[in-house]
Amino acid sequence: MSETIHRAHNFNAGPAGLPLEVMQQAQAELLDYKGTGMSIMEMSHRSKEFEAMLNETEADLRELLNIPSNYKVLFLQGGASLQFSMVPMNLRPAGASADYIVTGAWSKKAVQEAQKLGPTRVAADTKASNYSTLPASLDLDPKAAYLYYCSNETIHGVEFFQEPQPPAGVELVCDASSDFMSRPLDVSKYAYLYAGAQKNIGPAGVVVGILREDLLARVPANLPVMLDYKVQVENNSLYNTPPCFAIYMVGLVMKWIKKLGGLAAIEARNRAKADLLYQTIDASGGFYRGHAAPEARSRMNVTFRLPTEELEAQFVSEAKKLNMIGLKGHRSVGGLRASIYNAVELSDVQALVEFMKEFQKKHG
């Protein structure tokens, strides 16, 4: 890293930091992608250069996640929030019900959108713990079209490390927006899995969807064309102009993850960062208090509190002076949150931990 590059310790919850070398490559080829005399964002999505990039991005994603051949990969727009509607539109047949596990703000929003469109059951809701836990048990409908959950709740900092087990014949659907590709994942357990890119794998503006092929039989006729998984599959995500630059950035991040050694290596790296941060919280004698129950602690979003809101505000403000950005908790829950996605370096977390110790010495 050149000394002249000013880069923040970026703890943003999403959009989040991207790997420096990815950003540098994007910068280097911004005016001229591979000798074409154009940026990747200035060329036709039907050009051979763009299609090659798209196909390579998909191939890298498949390799990293070991995606079985009976799964299709989609690049979609509208964020996870549009998936909240597209999932029931496409995968819940008329008259059928779907089960939802609510463990925080995002799964709750998914339920609300599903309810607008048809029968929806809540199989569990951890509201009683203020969304600090995983559900102790699930009330499952054996006839549900699918069981839906959010693998990591960005706002509350609660993460599933084991998939919930649907009854036989019930499909599993997951919003993996904020822990996607932060660790290995057994795609074969899912009917559909999707993630907004802007946490671990790219900028905002593109969602990656991974759909088991046979689910396409469920897609009803005559959906609005842009909301139809079948149309997107049949057109290799090129029914209309896709978010070209965002997909390209995802492609660069895939190469970066491969270079680091793949998802097992990324997991080890992410675990080391999370362990360091949670150990610091636990060793603070109660000055720092983690929000999530220990077994539910997210490795992506570390949510914690200080003794007072005044101290929390001061923490954010002093951290900012040290170039540490994005530590304020979400406005809906307050407190502090350090998001430590793939691109955050251990050295960023070390800097944060040093600051936390200093801050406690001064104010504890």
Nearest approach, Cβ of 227 to a copy of itself (angstroms)?
7
Q: Is 106 a catalytic residue?
A: yes
- Closer Cβ to a copy of itself, 32 or 310, answer by number: 32
Nearest approach, Cβ of 60 to a copy of itself (angstroms)?
20
Nearest approach, Cβ of 343 to a copy of itself (angstroms)?
8
Q: Is 175 a catalytic residue?
A: yes
Out of 60, 72, 99, 199, which one is annotated catalytic?
A: 199
- Closer Cβ to a copy of itself, 135 or 196, answer by number: 196
Nearest approach, Cβ of 50 to a copy of itself (angstroms)?
8
> Where on the chain is the footprint of a copy of itself (CB under 8 A)?
5-8, 10, 12-18, 20, 23-24, 26-27, 30-32, 35-39, 41-45, 77-82, 84-85, 109, 112-113, 116-117, 196, 198, 203-206, 222-227, 239-246, 249, 323, 325-326
Cα–Cα distances in angstroms (integers) from residue 61 to residues 86, 212, 357, in the given order: 22, 15, 39
- Closer Cβ to a copy of itself, 161 or 239, answer by number: 239
Out of 60, 99, 141, 175, which one is annotated catalytic?
A: 175
DSSP code per residue over 148-195: EEESEETTTTEE-SS---PPTT-EEEEE-TTTTTSS---GGG-SEEEE
- Closer Cβ to a copy of itself, 147 or 206, answer by number: 206
Pairing of strands 120-125, 158-159: unpaired
- Closer Cβ to a copy of itself, 81 or 314, answer by number: 81
Task: Give me the torsion for CA of 180, 181, 184, 186, rounded to 10°.
Answer: 50
Q: Which parts of 163-308 fold into alpha helices (H)?
A: 229-234, 244-260, 263-282
Q: What is the C-alpha separation between 13 and 159, in angstroms, rounded?
A: 15
Decide: 128 and 176 in contact? Cβ < 8 Å. no
Structure letter (DSSP) for residue 355: H
Q: Is 99 a catalytic residue?
A: no
Out of 72, 99, 106, 141, which one is annotated catalytic?
A: 106
Decide: 131 and 278 in contact? Cβ < 8 Å. no
**Residues forming the active site:** 106, 175, 199
